[in-house]
Amino acid sequence: MALSKKPYKGTRDFLPDDKRIQDYLFDKMHKAAQLFGYEHYDGPLLEEVELYKAKSGEELINDQIYSFKDRGDRFVAIRPEMTPTVARMVAKIHKEVAKPIRWYSIPNLLRYERPQRGRLREHWQFNCDVFGGPGRLGEAEIIQLIIFFLESFGANEDHFEVLVNDRTIVDTIFAEISPDEKTTYKLYKLVDKSKKIPKEALERELNELTLKDNGSELFQEYLNLTSFDDLKNLLTKIGKSEVAEDFHQFVTETIPQDKLIYLQYDPTIVRGLDYYTGIVFEVFDKHPDNRRAICGGGAYANLLQIFNESPLGGVGFGLGDVTLQDFLTSHNLLPDLSKPNNDLLITFQTEQGLKDLSQLANELRKKGIKTVTNLEELKFKKVFALADKKGASFVTLYGDDEKAKGEVSLKNLKTKEQENFKISDSEAIFTFLNQ
């Protein structure tokens, strides 16, 4: 029986036409992170399962992780996310390095998912984190970095918004609603799924909880908030105007005016229960066919707790390549990447022509000219179709006449300009190619 040619379920083959798109995305990730001074890091593909258990709890381990015992009886997992790894790495070095620490990575990750739009088993995730930044300036920078990154594709406020909340604010409000920690936890769960379940189901679940007086009304009022001003009013009403002031100031004064247009207060954004402690956010696609989060993140106070290290706070985000590509495709923001990008196609129209031209090819490559050679004699009438397929800007033509003179003909495919050069004169040819 012949083997299957399909990739493993939920993973992708990146043929060059696909890889070119992914490399375009990766290139923008590297550029945005580096333009903000973030340093690239990476970690192992496998970690001990203990690490994930400590950070994410049993649920992720049981349902979503690829785990197995290695031959040395270590219980390991293929990384489903980068945060535990980066926490482990920062724990090793945080005492010796100056703060803030700004790191980014683009790892391949594996989760046991039922494949669906925007969700695959293997994906790549752009992770940026600032550790140990003062006050809320790290938070502000991270949000600016995401916006900068998405703008670098030509996206603007018509295409995406940044939905923001703050866990300390939610804690403050829930303290007025809930009599105990257990109920607060349930309220968080309810908020987290409030957009996904019908209003009636939400109310039913709410009614099952024992809340403080007027707690139910306050909870509803909270869920109906739609702006930073609304939020300020509510907090003032419950006597917590200083919390409101702090958050309001952060949003309106630390984020530059021209980026503020992207920010939208959203009370339903809480993002997981155990990890984040400060600001939380999701970048949301505004396209009606693709209303989903492209990216999420937030601030955390106790990254290193599981390593018994002193507290170190940070803020970060993760953005997957699949959702990013869906977003860009929805809004038609991807350029035409259907062809490779070569500078020069070497063709010859005489026997064994390559032998005469291979030295030239290598010299041009040394000067940075992407030079692809056709290995066989190529009829003149086929040259231009092949050059087009190879995405080349120039071609060489080398027939019996040129050979007799020790020359080669170079043609600029845009301007149609054509000129003959001595084969040995790679300098002059280089100049022609750079006009």
Min CB(378)–its own copies separation in Å: 11
Stretch that binds its own copies, among 130-138, 177-185, 199-207, 218-226 (CB under 8 A): 130-138
**Exactly one of 24, 50, 183, 260 binds its own copies (CB under 8 A); which one?**
50
Q: Which residues within the stretch 138-157 sit at the binding site for its own copies (CB under 8 A)?
A: 138, 141, 144, 148
Rounded CA separation 190/275 (Å): 17
The reply on whether position 2 binds its own copies by CB under 8 A is yes
Closest CB to its own copies among residues 59, 376? 376
Pick the closest to residue 127 from 90, 156, 166 (CA basis). 90
Binding string to its own copies for residues 64 to 93, with x set by CB under 8 A, is what?
--x-x-xxx-x-x-x------x--xx-xxx
Min CB(6)–its own copies separation in Å: 8
The reply on whether position 399 binds its own copies by CB under 8 A is no
CB 191 within 8 A of CB 266: no
**Exactly one of 58, 116, 376, 435 binds its own copies (CB under 8 A); which one?**
376
Pairing of strands 314-320, 122-131: antiparallel
The reply on whether position 384 binds its own copies by CB under 8 A is no
Amino acid at 246: D
CB 11 within 8 A of CB 122: yes
Closest CB to its own copies among residues 165, 371? 371
**Exactly one of 214, 227, 358, 431 binds its own copies (CB under 8 A); which one?**
358
Q: Which residues within the stretch 9-28 sit at the binding site for its own copies (CB under 8 A)?
A: 9, 11-16, 19-20, 22-23
The reply on whether position 370 binds its own copies by CB under 8 A is yes
Min CB(110)–its own copies separation in Å: 6
* Three-state DSSP class for residue 177: helix
b/e string for 110-132 if b means 16 or more Cβ within 10 A?
A: bbebeeeebebbbbbbbbbbbbb
Min CB(272)–its own copies separation in Å: 20
Closest CB to its own copies among residues 37, 288? 37
- Dihedral angle of Cα 389, 391, 394, 397, to the nearest 10 degrees: -20
Structure-token pair, residue 295: 């990216």
Min CB(101)–its own copies separation in Å: 9
Q: Which residues within the stretch 184-213 sit at the binding site for its own copies (CB under 8 A)?
A: none
Closest CB to its own copies among residues 174, 348? 348
CB 140 within 8 A of CB 125: no
In sequence order, the 6+-apart residues with CB closer than 8 A to the CB of 386 are: 345, 347, 374, 378
H/E element, 236:
helix 228-237
CB 330 within 8 A of CB 285: yes
Rounded CA separation 126/376 (Å): 42
Q: Which residues within the stretch 90-109 sit at the binding site for its own copies (CB under 8 A)?
A: 91-93, 98, 100, 102-103, 108
The reply on whether position 406 binds its own copies by CB under 8 A is no
Closest CB to its own copies among residues 68, 204? 68
Rounded CA separation 280/270 (Å): 6
Binding string to its own copies for residues 261 to 290, with x set by CB under 8 A, is what?
------------------------------
Q: Which residues within the stretch 292-311 sit at the binding site for its own copies (CB under 8 A)?
A: 306-308
CB 209 within 8 A of CB 183: yes
**Exactly one of 95, 196, 199, 355 binds its own copies (CB under 8 A); which one?**
355
Binding string to its own copies for residues 312 to 351, with x set by CB under 8 A, is what?
----------------------------x-x---------
Rounded CA separation 267/252 (Å): 18
The reply on whether position 404 binds its own copies by CB under 8 A is no
The reply on whether position 256 binds its own copies by CB under 8 A is yes
The reply on whether position 137 binds its own copies by CB under 8 A is yes
Min CB(428)–its own copies separation in Å: 20
Structure-token pair, residue 38: 């973030």
Stretch that binds its own copies, among 48-56, 237-245, 393-401, 407-415 (CB under 8 A): 48-56
What are the Cα distances from residue 50, in Å, to 47, 113, 419?
A: 8, 21, 67
Q: Where are the beta strands (DSSP E) in 66-136?
A: 67-69, 75-78, 101-105, 108-110, 122-131
